[in-house]
Each structure stands twice: as structure tokens, then as C-alpha cells.
Structure 1
Amino acid sequence: MTTEQLHTLFLRYPVICTDTRKITPNCLFFALKGDNFDGNAYAADAIKKGASYAIIEDRQFASSEKNILVADVLSTLQQLAKFHREYCNAKVIGLTGSNGKTTTKELITAVLSKKYKTIATKGNLNNHIGVPLTLLSITPETEIAIVEMGANHAQEIAFLCQLAKPDYGYITNFGKAHLEGFGSEEGVIMAKSELYDYLFANNKFVFFNADDTIQASRLNLVTSKLGFSAHPGPHLPIKILGADPYVSLEVRELPIESKLVGRYNFTNCSAAVLIGDYFKVPLTDIKIALENYIPQNNRSQIIQKTSFKIVLDAYNANPTSMKAALENFQELKSARKIAFLGDMFELGNAAEKEHQEIANLAAKMDFDQVFLIGENFYKTTTDLHKYKSFDQLAKSIGNISTEEATILIKGSRGMALERLVALL
């Protein structure tokens, strides 16, 4: 079956499923394979649960006429998504960066949805599987699609751009993330800039943070661009009014009070303002969208308890975002401050150095207590409290006084530090 023929079938059954636990009637089941599972083995179950067809690559599971045999299921899914993206008329905004991708994506979506029929990446499904699924969620009515692109190795963004073919692009920042795969900070910059490379080569449009020296230098000779800046000049001026605890900003004398914690979220909000303004969303609607956005999924959330307050930012962490979180936490007004910091993953050979630097930074700050959790932090040389595992910390949690405190919880996803909320 050709991609065009499969696309004709997809137009009849426009729901894709890759998990038999989430089968919906008349969907197309793609039998993807992973390190610990083989979707081909579940094809018959998918059909039994209501899938119209199952796309498989293992002939031994081709037990009915509802099985479509292909050479490679993942490649077939990706090529179908590419075909569908070209078939639809929606404008695509590509989004990548080291930190803040998902929050920025959700803010842009909230703003553009005020005027346009908009779809966006769900959650952080931003990889070689998630991007195709996002593209296949575009409908004939969709006007703008915001596609988040993640990567931990070179050429991944370049590949995703070939699928999504973005008309516009925005890079949140370049930070110390996934150093294990990228090798160095320069490797991060080169890899994330693959979005720029695609946009430049295809005469597409770039949104950018004019105050980010790396972005500004890389876009110096580009004419199809639009930037924002916290300083007067040729770019859209956006002023930060404060961040204690929530970020507030001002655009054309209109104040916007977000519900996002952290000065670092100023640029995320600013990007949404810039892009909304470019697409002629009224500024009053931009204000409503940003002020009504409430963060979830352990990202920049404030949780008010009876006698203390938690700043929960435990979705993920890398040295750049950890430093930003600590600096923001230092600025908050509070009688007492306690920080729980979990290991940062995927740093490769830089892990020892980066964890020591964060431990040193935290030790210099005026916090009442700092607790380091995880094998990497446990190896650091510091007088701060250290625990080799979350379970070790949990055994001691009853001895920690939280009365009248503001508590920061920050760590990589694998640390699952949100478990602390219930324990505290």
C-alpha cells in the first residue's frame, strides 16, 4: 500500500492509536515496536477492541484482511504524517529549545486559540513518534498547528523538520540539556539550530528573543524575523514588572499578570505575546489568554498548604533550568526557604562537574535548608544535606520542619520529586 493510499484510508478513519489500552472505535492501530514491547503481537487485540485496521510489519501476525502489512511501521507512520501535513492547509509553527518548550507551546496555543482554530502537541509528545501523531491530528478546519520538537542527539530536529515542514519557528533557549547526547553546550546550540537551518533554507519566518545573544548572533543576517526585547529598540518591547511569586509583564502599557512562577517564565510569556501579536490577536485577548493559563503537570506550580507553600517544578531539570530556579527562589520573599533538589539526568561525563556546581551555588544562597537527593548529588563535596535516594530522604522527612516556609522542589523527571508533596 502506498502512502497516498494509506492516507485515503486515514481520511476515512482519522484517529491514530499506538496503544491497545486506548483503542477507540474505527481508529487505525499502528503496531510500533520498542525495547520491551512488540505492537505486532497486539494487532488482533486492537481489531477486537474496535480498530478498523492494524498496520503491522511482522507477517506472522497478519491474521485477517484488517491487517495492513508494511516494511516498517514507524517509518510508515512518519511518512503518512509528512503526506498529511502537505495535504492540509494549516500553518505550522515549529518549537524547540533546551528549557520551557512545553510551557511556551501551551502559552502560544492559549493565545492563538483566541482567534484561530489551533492544535498543538499534546503534553511533551515531541519526538520521532509524537511529532507524527501531532501532525496527524491536524484537521481540514485547523488553521495553525504548534509542533513541539525535542531532541537529545544531533540531526533529530532536522529530521522532524522534514516531517513537519514548519512555516515559522521559535527556539526557547540554548542550555545545558542532554549533554550526554550532544557532547557539549556547542553541540546543544548546533542541534537546536537545526530548526533555524531548515527555516533559512526554505525562506521561512523566525520568531526570537532579541535579548538572547546566541539567538541574536545567529539571526544577524536573516531578514524574515521578528523579535521581542525587554529593552527599547527595533523589537517588540515587553517589560517585566515582577516575579514574586508570579511573573507580570507590560506590553504597550497593558499589564499582564500571569499565574506562572519564576522570572525565567518571562521569556515564555513574551514569546506568546510576540507570536500572538504577529498573527493579529488583539492584545486584550492575549492578556486574557495568559492570565487564565494555569500551569499543571508539576511545572512551575504553587501549592498552598496550611502552614507552608510549595513551588513545585519537578517535571524536569538540567543545569540551566536548575540555576534559573534557584536564582528565582532566592528572590522570593519568605520567612523561611527550603530547597529539595534532585539529580539531573543525561549529562554524561559532565554529570559530576554540573552537580558540584549546582551544590556550590545552592550552598552560597540564603536558604534555611537545602536537601540534595540522588546518586549524583550524593557524590558532591558539600555541607548540605545529602541523600543517595528518595527512599532515604523519605525516612527522614518527619524531622524536617516546614512551618511558615516556602519550599522549592526541583529535579529531573526520573527522580519523581512530586512525591514529596504528599510526604510534606
Structure 2
Amino acid sequence: MILEVNELTQLFPKKQGAASDQIQLGSVMTDSRKTAKQSLFVPIVGENFDAHDFLGDAIKQGAVATLWQEDQPLPKLTPTDFPVFFVEDTTKALQQLASYYLKKVDPVVVGVTGSNGKTTTKDLAASVLQVKYKTHKTAGNFNNHIGLPLTVLAMDPETEAVVLEMGMDRAGEISVLSKLAEPSYAIITNIGESHIENLGSREGIAGAKLEITEGLSEEGALILDGDEPLLQEQNSKNWTVTCGFGDELDYQAEILQLTDESSTFKVGEQSFELPMAGKHNVKNATYVIALAERLGLSPQEIQQGFQQLQMSAMRFEKHEGHKGSLIINDAYNASPTSMKAIIEVVSQLTSKSRKVLILGDMFELGEQSEKLHQSVADAIDEKIHAVYTIGEYSKTISDAVDKQYPSIETHHFTEKQTLSHHVRKNLTADTVVLIKASRGMKLEELLENLVD
């Protein structure tokens, strides 16, 4: 971020101190425990904390100005010349500042949402676009009403394209993000079951994801899963681009070969190789091909972008495990749809013959939690050798597998340590272990015992 303090007076006229000075702002600080020289301190008010208590610490860490909620008293020791901009709500002011900065930098804006695959699609899109454009993307899980503005404000002023992941857990949240970002291109990867507890049904989830169109520019395009019936009413709209495997889609993928390390497929007459396993990732790639073509990239440039892909952490993250085993950590998050998809990938792996699943609870499924957990068992057959579960609801998965396939070893654990010791002692050079659950289960902690 490159701004000057005096620019903020256009947005926040109520001020004190040297607010009209040309003081350089290089970043935004929300955590006063971290050093950030020449930063703007934005104290966020949460359910259990209020960062207004830490202005002094923020100044020591490098803050040179602050947004300040006007109903909060300023600390008495605040320097009289320290620039303070008074606002009604610091979170909304942060969003307002991000919107201003986005318009100032003026990159092509790509918004990505969906129940599953949005982080993979974001990473793919950024990797491809950076072949031709200076590209910025959402880091980690900075995809909500605070994280997205921070992502925008972290942009280099020379950025030509920005890929913004948009997450939510209830209706109305993506609307806020879309209106802030005003994307030129919006991607909806799929409609799953995540957050069904708050949204009631897959129809409700689809409606919440479609909020991404509320800020979409009139000349923009909505790129979506053409195989999803809940999105098909969008197909008649001029801005809609359909992708997937079905007939009569704008971008129809045909699988040519799936291996442990890559996926080869065709879209139209053009072949591509993706350095990722899994049919679901091929569909994610079709969204990116549709996007890239609209931004003037050639098939060769798109392929170059695929080859230089760098994935976010804990997404099909491979580790060499004890005794030469393969441990796949996909513990960042989970829903029934994503869990089934990755089980299918592991089932098809040829490099290891003994396949072990460690599956934990999936959150925010509400009254349908037991049924949706049990549905995961539909993706498991005798290609899998062992299924270990941990958590409150995941036991329904191992119970269902045990009932249908008695030859598969199943066991439900209540403690991670007991689970990891059991798995470790049975590891061989021919074993692959998948770890998958919702973020709150923190199953990546198992790696400590499984990876030497």
C-alpha cells in the first residue's frame, strides 16, 4: 500500500493532529503486537476484544496514524500531533479505505467464491494471470469482511490484476465484499453443504454465493459451475460463462489422463496439463481458462501459469512420512463434497497400494450433520484399506463403512495422540494417509508424529 495521511481527509473529514500532512503510509496495522513501520493503525472491535486499548503499543510498533471509533475515548498520552481520523465504525472505515485504494490502483478485479475449491481456483487464477500481469491475491484465509480489505490494502500500487477470495458463513456477507471490490470477473466454483446450518439448504447457499454478482461490473462476466442445477437459471444471462463436464457448456472439459501427480485434459481442441491430481481440480482449471482467455492470455501462457502453480498451505500438502510413507495433509477445511472428492483422488493413486483415511468432523452442518457425515461413506470402497475417524459426528462415517465393507479396517478415536500412535506403528513404505477435517479439528497436529 502506498498512501499519504492527507489523502484520508477525503474519506474521513473528522480529524485531529497532523492529519493534513504528507506522511507516508506503507501498510495497515490491526495487530499492535507486530511491528509495521509507517502504518495506519485500525483498531478492530470484536466480540471478546477491543484493539482501541492498544494505541500506545501500536505507535511503538510503527503506527503513524489511526482510524478511531468516535465513541471511544482517546488515551490521554496520545501525542497531540498524531493524526487521528474519527469514524463511526473502524471495520466499515477499513472497508471504505480499501474501496478507495482499489479504485486508485485500478487493477482488473477477480472475485472467487464457492463452497469448495475457491482457494485452489484463486491460486490457479493468480498463477496464470501473473504470466502476463503483475498480480496480487488473497493470502491464507483473508477472505472475510476484514481479511478482504486487508488483502486489497496490501497491494503494490503497480498491481495490474488482483484475485480476491470471498468467503462467508451467512447470507449478506458476500454482498458486502462484492460491492466493495466491484469485480470485473466473478467465479462461483460450486454449491456444496458448507454453512448449511446458517443458510438452511443448498438453495440458500446458492443464493448467498450469487451475491457476488451484486458488485459485478456491467461489462463483467460471471464464470460458474455449469453442471450445478442450482446455478442454471443464470445461464440465460448475457454475462454468464458455464464451465464443467456437461454437454453444451461454454467450456467443456474432457479428461485424457489422471495420475498421482497431474491431470491431462482438453477444453475444445486445446490440451492442458495440470500439476494436480483429481477430476474436481480439472473443473477448477476450466474456470481459470475461461477467465484467462477473456484477459488475452494464449493457451501456451495458460499452460505456463499452470506449471508454476504455488498452492496455499494444507491443501493436498504432501509429506514424506515415517518409514517412507506418504502423508497428505488436507486439513485446512472440509465439507461432504470436498471430502468425497479428495477420497476419490486418494482411491485412484497408484504410487502407494495401502490407503488410509483419517477423517474428522465437518462443522456448520446443523440438523443435517449426522446424515451428511454418513454420506461420506458413499465415496469409500475396497480400494481403501483403513478408515479412522475422530470427533463427535465422524463416527457415523466409520460405522457406515464397517457395515458395508467389513474387510476395511475401521476405528473411531477420541484422542489425537492415540490415533496418531496407532497409525504410525502401521505405516509402511507402501502406505498413503489422507488427513481431512474442518479447520477447527486441527488435525494437522497429527503430522508431528507421522512425519519424521
Global fold match (TM > 0.5): yes
Q: Does 1:187 align with 2:204?
A: yes
State whether residues 325 and 428 of structure 2, in contact with CA within 8 Å, keep that contact through their aligned partners in structure 1: yes
Q: Does 1:406 align with 2:422?
A: no
Q: Does 1:295 align with 2:311?
A: yes
Provide the rounded CA distance (Å) in 2 between the counterparts of 1:154 and 1:130: 18
State whether residues 180 and 347 of structure 1, in contact with CA within 8 Å, keep that contact through their aligned partners in structure 2: yes
Provide the rounded CA distance (Å) in 1 between the counterparts of 2:289 and 2:20: 38
The corresponding residue for 2:363 is 345
Secondary structure at the counterpart of residue 110 of structure 2:
strand
CA gap 1:199/1:2 in 2 versus in 1, 3 angstroms: closer
The corresponding residue for 1:172 is 189
- Per the TM alignment, residue 172 of structure 1 is displaced from its structure 2 partner at its CA by 0.6
Q: How does 1:377-388 map to 2 (within 5 A)?
A: 377-378=394-395, 381-382=399-400, 383=402, 384-388=410-414
The corresponding residue for 2:241 is 226
Q: How does 1:384-395 map to 2 (within 5 A)?
A: 384-395=410-421
Provide the rounded CA distance (Å) in 1 between the counterparts of 2:295 and 2:195: 33
- Per the TM alignment, residue 265 of structure 1 is displaced from its structure 2 partner at its CA by 0.8
Q: Which runs of 5+ in 2 are unaligned?
A: 1-8, 403-409
Provide the rounded CA distance (Å) in 2 between the counterparts of 1:298 and 1:421: 11
Secondary structure at the counterpart of residue 54 of structure 1:
strand
Q: Deviations over 1:348-372 (max 9, x none)?
A: 22222212222x3366443111101
State whether residues 261 and 301 of structure 1, in contact with CA within 8 Å, keep that contact through their aligned partners in structure 2: no
Q: TM-score, normalised by structure 1?
A: 0.90
Q: Which runs of 5+ in 1 are unaligned?
A: none
Which of 63, 73, 96 aligns to 1:59? It is 73
Q: Deviations over 1:159-206 (max 9, x none)?
A: 111211112211011001011221221111111111134438x46321
CA gap 1:92/1:34 in 2 versus in 1, 3 angstroms: same
Provide the rounded CA distance (Å) in 2 between the counterparts of 1:136 and 1:296: 20
Provide the rounded CA distance (Å) in 1 between the counterparts of 2:117 and 2:45: 30
Which of 113, 121, 145 aligns to 2:162? It is 145
Report sequence identity in percent. 34
Provide the rounded CA distance (Å) in 2 between the counterparts of 1:29 and 1:335: 53
- Per the TM alignment, residue 330 of structure 1 is displaced from its structure 2 partner at its CA by 2.2
The corresponding residue for 1:422 is 448
State whether residues 104 and 268 of structure 1, in contact with CA within 8 Å, keep that contact through their aligned partners in structure 2: yes
Q: TM-score, normalised by structure 2?
A: 0.85
The corresponding residue for 2:111 is 94
Q: Does 1:81 align with 2:81?
A: no
Q: How does 1:250-399 map to 2 (within 5 A)?
A: 250-251=266-267, 254-305=270-321, 306-333=323-350, 334-358=352-376, 360-361=377-378, 364-378=381-395, 381-382=399-400, 383=402, 384-399=410-425
Provide the rounded CA distance (Å) in 2 between the counterparts of 1:278 and 1:100: 21
CA gap 1:400/1:327 in 2 versus in 1, 3 angstroms: same
State whether residues 3 and 80 of structure 1, in contact with CA within 8 Å, keep that contact through their aligned partners in structure 2: yes
Secondary structure at the counterpart of residue 273 of structure 1:
helix
- Per the TM alignment, residue 341 of structure 1 is displaced from its structure 2 partner at its CA by 0.7
Provide the rounded CA distance (Å) in 1 between the counterparts of 2:20 and 2:121: 34
Q: Deviations over 1:257-279 (max 9, x none)?
A: 32223221111122222211211
CA gap 1:252/1:221 in 2 versus in 1, 3 angstroms: closer
- Per the TM alignment, residue 9 of structure 1 is displaced from its structure 2 partner at its CA by 7.5
Q: Does 1:45 align with 2:71?
A: no
State whether residues 334 and 437 of structure 2, in contact with CA within 8 Å, keep that contact through their aligned partners in structure 1: yes
Q: Deviations over 1:16-55 (max 9, x none)?
A: 1111233321111111122333211111111112211132
- Per the TM alignment, residue 4 of structure 1 is displaced from its structure 2 partner at its CA by 5.6
State whether residues 239 and 249 of structure 1, in contact with CA within 8 Å, keep that contact through their aligned partners in structure 2: yes
The root-mean-square deviation of aligned C-alpha atoms, in Å, is 2.6
Which of 2, 11, 18 aligns to 1:3? It is 11
State whether residues 127 and 310 of structure 2, in contact with CA within 8 Å, keep that contact through their aligned partners in structure 1: no
Greater CA drift, 51-60 or 233-242: 233-242
- Per the TM alignment, residue 82 of structure 1 is displaced from its structure 2 partner at its CA by 2.1
Q: Does 1:159 align with 2:176?
A: yes
State whether residues 375 and 389 of structure 1, in contact with CA within 8 Å, keep that contact through their aligned partners in structure 2: no
Greater CA drift, 71-80 or 386-395: 386-395
Number of matched pairs: 421
